[in-house]
Amino acid sequence: MSSFLAFDLGASSGRAMIGRLENGRLSLTEVHRFANGPTEKDGAIYWDYPQLCLELKNGLRKALAVEPELDGIGIDTWGVDYVFFDKATGKMRRWPYHYRDVRTDSPETDVWNKISKQELYERTGIQCMLLNTVYQLAAHHRMHPEDFKDSFFLTMPDALAYYLGGERTSEYTECSTTNLLDPVGKEWDWEIIDRLGLPRDVFPEIVKPCTFSGTLSEELQKELGCGPVPIIKVGSHDTASAVAAVPAPESGSWAYISAGTWALLGAEIEKPFRNADSEKNSFTNEGGLDGKIRFLSNIMGSWLFQETRRVWNETKPTPVSFAEMEQMALSSEPCRFLINPNDASFVTPGDMPQRIIDFCERTGQGKITNDGEVVRAIYDSLALYFRTKLNVLAQLLGTRYQCLNVVGGGTKDGLLMQLTADALNFPVVAGPVEATAIGNLLAQAMAAGKVGSLAEARRVVNSSFEVKTYVPDAARHAFYNSQIERFEKLAK
Ligand code: LFR
């Protein structure tokens, strides 16, 4: 038996999971869970990196109490964010900015004057999102050039691995989210970096997923009373880990959604795919395990529910749960109101219910009069958007999909899964919920030679975890058909 520890950090929570692999089956034990989120300071939003490091230490301590002989530790987090460190002392230069911070709101002067939006897409194959590292670094350099002197940065999961073991490298799948990588050579695109005037020497060496990366530092070994546990680079971008754990069918075409704060809808392909249509439809080419490309598009996802709930819980006398929100949606009229889930007004933290009400008024749908209508608008619009995006994916790749695998925390939302099946008119296979941690653990097992390939890893997922199949309802599908044209106009 081998046992590995996965740290899986999302935008709203993080967890530490032990995975035990025995006879081709993986079992999970959660040993630590903690909250995560933006911290506001001096008008900007940040991640509390020192606190996240403490949570890693707490998680590791709890894990060692359960499993003293760990064969590896792997870390995955969300994409695009980074931490600057001083080269000489190794100390953090500044708290890492949160990708929803608004400092990237002048892309013309920061980036596009030097390299056009279109050229950036042609070179990197990455969909244009102002939260991408390229925009963040350019804004950061304009505001705080001093951070770039005698410094280096590491992408978020690698900055956390640095805390554990001290290696100054960044992993390829996470680096692919920066918008600064050549997707074929899988290396930094120095021409973009030079044209933006960013100093080359802040950029870390890129290493492959499923590789060993030193061990736990002597300091932490002493403090925790353990040995030199190996640190393993996994698909350290959470979505790369989640996609690695899709219980995909052994043959035939399959598409996925990694559903969490974001919903990432796409397919796994062999080499980057970029043309004017994929650019127009915001499809991206991120790095996967085993040299694969994750061809996908970002959809706003559970963020819309999370932020709505946060605001209600701050302003209403009694807190509302996600289960209650689901009930509210069920008792509201379907498709009475629809939104574009990716509308720019929904990106930053704020009064989401009001923004949804404003969107509906602005687009001539009238006035939302109760909370149920707000939630219902999110549900129907996400289901319809998944359908629209899946059709575009199929057209771009010239493939027909007849099944959609949804993995991640979002699969706990049974209503969203059902409405997605209804919108698509084919089955949605939902699960596993913990796909990201599972992908992280299996990447460690691959590095350790316990699992031979990505295909074998998916076999392990298939034989270890239950999935739930949602079958479409004909009447609801017909109703969604009658609404799709209206929706697509709003979501343009
Ligand atoms: C999902 C995710 C997405 C990325 C977004 C921001 O958690 O990693 O893949 O686009 O967060 O980093």
For 454-470, the three-class secondary structure string (H helix, E strand, C coil) is: HHHHHHHHHHHCCCEEE
Cβ pair 72, 5 in contact under 8 A: yes
Output the CA 329–ligand 1 centroid distance in Å: 26
Output the CA 66–ligand 1 centroid distance in Å: 31
Q: Give the Cα-Cα-Cα angle 69, 74, 76 (nearest 5 degrees).
A: 150
3-class secondary structure for 386-454? HHHHHHHHHHHHCCCCCCEEEECHHHHCHHHHHHHHHHHCCCEEECCCCHHHHHHHHHHHHHCCCCCCH
Beta strands in 117-184, from DSSP E residues, in sequence order:
151-155, 169-171, 181-182
Closest to 241 in 3D by CA, of 121, 405, 75 = 75
Closest to 287 in 3D by CA, of 179, 395, 168 = 179
pLDDT(252) > 90: no
Of all protein residues, whose CA lies closest to atom 12 belonging to ligand 1? Answer: 79
Write phi, then psi, for 451 (nearest 5 degrees): -130, 130
In ligand 1, the atom with minimum distance to the C-alpha of 78 is: 8
Using DSSP, state whether 116 is helix, strand or coil.
coil
Write phi, then psi, for 391 (nearest 5 degrees): -65, -40
Of all protein residues, whose CA lies closest to atom 8 belonging to ligand 1? Answer: 78
Q: Which residues contact 252 (CB under 8 A, 6 or more apart)?
A: 402
- And the tokens for 17? 């999971």
Question: How large a percentage of the chain has pLDDT more than 90?
Answer: 98
Cβ pair 267, 257 in contact under 8 A: no
Catalytic residue among 8, 76, 238, 371: 238
| Whole-angstrom distance, CA of residue 5 vs CA of residue 441 | 7
Of all protein residues, whose CA lies closest to atom 7 belonging to ligand 1? Answer: 78
In ligand 1, the atom with minimum distance to the C-alpha of 177 is: 10
pLDDT(15) > 90: yes
Cβ pair 106, 140 in contact under 8 A: no
- When pLDDT is averaged across residues 269-274 and rounded to a whole number, the result is 97
Of all protein residues, whose CA lies closest to atom 11 belonging to ligand 1? Answer: 78
Of all protein residues, whose CA lies closest to atom 1 belonging to ligand 1? Answer: 78
- And the tokens for 6? 């996965």
Using DSSP, state whether 286 is helix, strand or coil.
strand
- And the tokens for 373? 């209508």
Q: Which of 9, 262, 302, 347 to mutate to test the pocket of ligand 1 (most atoms within 8 A of CB)?
A: 262
Q: Which of 177, 261, 342, 407 to mutate to test the pocket of ligand 1 (most atoms within 8 A of CB)?
A: 177
pLDDT(251) > 90: no
Output the CA 479–ligand 1 centroid distance in Å: 32
pLDDT(369) > 90: yes
Query: Within 10 A of 200 (CB to CB), how many other CB atoms are there?
Result: 9
- When pLDDT is averaged across residues 438-467 and rounded to a whole number, the result is 98
Cβ pair 71, 18 in contact under 8 A: no
3-class secondary structure for 47-74? CCHHHHHHHHHHHHHHHHHHCCCCCEEE
Provide residues with CB under 6 Å of ligand 1: 10, 78-80, 99, 237-239, 260-262, 264, 298
Handedness of CA 75, 461, 453, 237 (dihedral sign): negative
Amino acid 441: pLDDT: 99
Direct distance between the N- and C-terminal alpha carbons of the chain, in angstroms, rounded to an integer: 51
Output the CA 92–ligand 1 centroid distance in Å: 23
Q: Which residues on adjacent β-strands are paired with residue 155?
A: 82
Give the CA dihedral 54, 59, 64, 65, nearest 10 degrees: 110
pLDDT(214) > 90: yes
pLDDT(462) > 90: yes
- And the tokens for 400? 């027909």
Output the CA 185–ligand 1 centroid distance in Å: 22
- And the tokens for 357? 């009400």
- And the tokens for 5? 């520890």
pLDDT(402) > 90: no
Cα-only R_g, the chain: 22
Output the CA 56–ligand 1 centroid distance in Å: 20
| Whole-angstrom distance, CA of residue 218 vs CA of residue 225 | 10
- When pLDDT is averaged across residues 85-106 and rounded to a whole number, the result is 97
- When pLDDT is averaged across residues 356-381 and rounded to a whole number, the result is 98
In ligand 1, the atom with minimum distance to the C-alpha of 262 is: 1
> What are the structural domains of the chain?
2-238 (3.30.420.40), 246-431+452-492 (3.30.420.40)
Amino acid 250: pLDDT: 84
In ligand 1, the atom with minimum distance to the C-alpha of 238 is: 8
Q: Is 238 a catalytic residue?
A: yes
Output the CA 481–ligand 1 centroid distance in Å: 30
| Whole-angstrom distance, CA of residue 301 vs CA of residue 195 | 34
- When pLDDT is averaged across residues 227-232 and rounded to a whole number, the result is 98
In ligand 1, the atom with minimum distance to the C-alpha of 264 is: 9
pLDDT(454) > 90: yes
- When pLDDT is averaged across residues 4-9 and rounded to a whole number, the result is 99
| Whole-angstrom distance, CA of residue 293 vs CA of residue 270 | 6
Helices (H) and strands (E) in the chain, counts: 18, 21
Average model confidence (pLDDT) across the chain = 98
Handedness of CA 37, 355, 258, 241 (dihedral sign): negative
Amino acid 359: pLDDT: 98
Q: Which residues contact 51 (CB under 8 A, 6 or more apart)?
A: none
Name the DSSP letter for residue 211. E
Quick check: bond before 427 cis, omega within 30?
no
| Whole-angstrom distance, CA of residue 236 vs CA of residue 244 | 11
